[in-house]
Every structure is written in structure tokens, then in C-alpha cells.
Structure 1
Amino acid sequence: MTDHPAFRKVHDGIASREQMFQLFDRHRDTPGIDPLSGTPYAGEWFEITASTYHFMLGLLPPLFMRTGMFGMSEYKAGYVTSVFFAIRIRTRERWFHGFCDLSDKRSPDAMRAAIIAHETGAADSMTREEKLEAIWNATHPDFKGIAGNVDPDAWPAEHQGKRTILVNAGAQGTVLKLLENLSDKEIDELLSVSLPLRNSRRGGDDADRS
């Protein structure tokens, strides 16, 4: 599996549109690296304004688009492209830009989860709802689904339409559970593999801020 740089915040506060474009080229003159590879940018993220988010959405046809997220069709370099996020954190809508390496198809969801973890003080201070949302967004589509979509008879009527996720149940093997019914232990285990460790990022955060 390819190793990707840790997700890291590179700008304090909310970047203006001008600051955003400056951050897009922040490695242009950095000695000893090849900015054309895209690697120096991969994993970097920062907060933007709502107007900038919508401006970029209308600039080019998106490479992909889904609720609260879209990717730019113009790559930065290699497989690295800009992904823009609209995320509700602590009941407030906020907007972010990140560089994702799409050679890892889970990168946008993993970055979204990392942003939530960083902006809420990491997993130890996240609410249960935020933890479940982070787990859902970082889980590969093959391991999650909607109750009743495939086999309506497999779920009671009151659970149909709810989100489901595969979990390791030990001796029982892998089982399908409602996301909302995950135990605290299961949540902790899934977060440990879904979210980058914040402590490993702190040095990089401080060093990379502009």
C-alpha cells in the first residue's frame, strides 16, 4: 500500500481567495523538492470562505461531486488535485480546501474525517455523533450501506433506510450493524484506523503554517 503524507493544516484562520491562490503555489520555490510531482502538496488543507467554495465550484466542471464535497478536474500534479469540503462542525457550516492524492480513492473521505478531528480537538473531544460521522465518511463503500436497500426482509421496517457498517465481532467474524448501534469499543477501534493520529501531526502543523 502506498504511504501518503499525513494530513496537515497549513494556514491559521480562514484564507481569503487571494491567500488560497498563494497557498496553491506555496512550494514553488521550496529547495530540494519537485513541486511537479504533487507530493509536497498532498495532505495539506486549510479553511476558506463560503464565497470561495462556491466560486471554485462554478469555475470548472467538477471531477467528482457528492454531498458536501467536490474535486477539481484540473489536477495540481500527478494524481493530486484540489478537493473542497462543506462540513458542519459544532452546528456551524464551514468550508475547507485540501490537496488529495487520488491514487488512494479513500483520500477525500479520510481528509474530511481528519479535518473534523482536528477542528474538534481530536477524537477524545468529539461527540458520539461526530465520531459516527467521521467513521462513516472514512469507510470504504464496500463496507457500508443502507439497511433494506439489498434485502428489505433482512431489517425491521423501523430500521430500513438507516446506515449500516461492517464490524469485526471477534469469534462471530464480520457482522453488519446499524451505524447508530456501534458500541463505544467499536467506535474507538474504528476511529483508530479511520483517523490520522493528531499527535503525529502537531509538529508538522506548526512547521507548515504560513
Structure 2
Amino acid sequence: MTSGRRAANRGYGRLDRATIVAVGLGIARGEGLAAVTMRAIAEELGNAPMALYRHVADRQALVAGMLDAVMAEIVPPEPSDDPREEIIGLCSAVYRALRRDGWAVLVQVVDGVASPVTLPLLERLYAALRAAGLSDADCHRAVAALRHYTYGVLLGTHRDRVDGFAGRLVRHADPDRYPALASATRAADPHRVEGTFELGLEILVSGLLAQLGPTRN
């Protein structure tokens, strides 16, 4: 497989950090993060592995650069004077960008890797929450809730399988013991997931603004 990749990707030109990151990202998207090694990238570029270390310190730095590249693909919405619309638009932009890269979700959630590319988006998100009347402390709580929701859905999107064990467990639950579960499962289309994130996000944002905003009881 490596030789096939290498043959298909000859002609990258001069070896530099941007090229190394781009090749690593391509491997991650095609074969998963575990397949991203300095040796694999070097073979694809037709170089010795040690040549890469002149441009990338180590694999950790490579993954950080790959994450920066993914997060740079986020297309933020046009700024809105409506805080609710601004919050939903920003979270949706992150969700759309990361749906393609399950590995990027995992390294952020599991390994705690972060990208400075997201700081302008976070600034807008905090500003929107403050414009909605939340205190600084409650802005931080709200951002945590929004992040947990967005990344939780992304993890499920990349990990859940209709034909997996969890799906079969629910579908084949005894209807006599679990009538509500069985009824809802029969009515659901397991292949239709589009719109689920947006619906949940709208509910979450409405609840956060109602609970933490200036009109709360």
C-alpha cells in the first residue's frame, strides 16, 4: 500500500513542513492516524525518514500541525448581531469541519491536543455569550457544555455503526420488557442522522441562554 501511495503522490516538490503535514493528513484520512509515521511519510515522498526531522521535530509536532491544518478548514459564519444565531453558527461550523476527520476529534478529546487556530472562533463564541447577558463565569460553563455536546456527537458520528453491537442490542431488545424502547426503535430510521446535531444544538443553546441569561429566575 505504501508503494502505491508513493507512486501516486510523486511530484510534491521541495521537502518542507507544509508538504510533510499535507502528506500526513492524507494518510490519516485514508488509513487512520495509526498509519501516520515518519517512515510512511518519507516513503511516500521518496526521502529518508531522517530528512523529515529537519522540518518537523517529532510525530507529536506532526500531529499538531495536521490538527492545525484541519481546524484551518473551518469556515466560520458571517458575524451576527443575534447571539443565539452566532453561537449556533460557530458550533455548526466546527461540527461540519470535523465530520471528515475522526482522528482529529480523538486527539483533542482523548490526548488533549489543541490548536491555536481555534482562538478567533472561541473569542467570537465568548463574545456572543457575553452579549446574551451571561457572566464571565457562566460563559465558561456554557462553552464547556457546547464543546462537550459538539465533540460528543462527533465521536458518535465517527464511531457508531448501524450494524455494530450497540445498534443490534437496541434493535433486538425484548419489546415486552422494554416497550417504549422497542416502539421508538421501530419508528426510527437508523440511517437518518442528518439534522440530529442541529436539533440538539438549538435545544442546548436555548436552554443555556434561558438558564444562565439575565432573565433567569
Q: Same fold (TM over 0.5)?
A: no
Which structure carries more helix by proportion?
2
Which structure carries more strand by proportion?
1
TM-score of the aligned structures, taking structure 2 as reference length: 0.28
TM-score of the aligned structures, taking structure 1 as reference length: 0.28
